[in-house]
Amino acid sequence: MKNATHLLATDLDGTLVGDRPGLDELLGFYKNQEYTVSLVYITGRHFQSALSLIKEEKLPVPEILITDVGTEIHAGPEFIKDGEWEERMQQHWHPEEIDRIAASFQALQKQQLPVTNRCSYYVEDLKTVEAFERQLLAADIPHKLIYSGGRDLDILPAKSGKGAALEYILDKFDARESKILVAGDSGNDLEMLTLGLPSVIVGNAMPELLESEEHPMIFRASKVCAGGIQEAWSHFHPN
């Protein structure tokens, strides 16, 4: 990762993964380049679930694996947890209080996850999401709220998130000057897609991204999943 010249920072489900022929073509395309593309996976899955997906789909092992919507960072190939990031996550983080407030909303269904750095719920009613957030603010609980796919609600430590985690990694490994592409398909990707780095919203993106603001550094691919990544790569980094 140190001194990476080219870097793909991508979400997994619905972005890198989802269209096998497109993925094979993208990986073949990268193999044919004279440069090496460092891979950073940034997913909403929890760590074990992300590892299973990498195995099932035979994905290349990434140099960095960011899981749980940017609340855990693991450095490959052994996937050692980043302790400094972990410490940052635990500052001003009060999951019990968040769960206590959530319990007063019938429409919020707690997601059973083997992690403590995030409080995640299923909810389809936007009014409930808004009312929940008002209560979190009223109780002065530091947090970041991310609603994705009309179903997944994540309450995260204030300094976390896919965008914050990506910036942390770019700084830590001095990779700001590399040729980067950020790729995503849903609401929890928005933060990293709007950092001002070359970014792609893949063709199959969820409605919440299709409605997002236009920006010169955001490329809207016509192809789905990995095919869209390749389309954007050729757009931003033609040589």
Using CB under 5 A, list all residues that contact Mg ion: 11, 13-14, 185-186
Find the length of the chain.
239
- Residue (of 197, 183, 189) closest to 147 by Cα position: 189
Q: How far is the CB of 185 from Mg ion (least distance, A)?
A: 4
User: The tokens 């609401």 sit on which residue?
Assistant: 187
User: Collapsing DSSP states into helix, strand and coil, what is residue 30?
Assistant: helix
Q: How far is the CB of 48 from Mg ion (least distance, A)?
A: 18
Cβ-based nearer residue to Mg ion, 44 or 198: 44
Cβ-based nearer residue to Mg ion, 49 or 178: 49
Q: Give the Cα separation of 77 and 96 in Å (integer).
A: 33
Cβ-based nearer residue to Mg ion, 102 or 184: 184
Q: How far is the CB of 18 from Mg ion (least distance, A)?
A: 8
Phi then psi dihedrals of residue 218, to 5 deg: -105, 120
Written as six digits, the tokens of 187 are: 């609401």
Cβ-based nearer residue to Mg ion, 5 or 48: 48
CB-CB contact of 64 with 81 (8 Å): no
Q: How far is the CB of 186 from Mg ion (least distance, A)?
A: 5
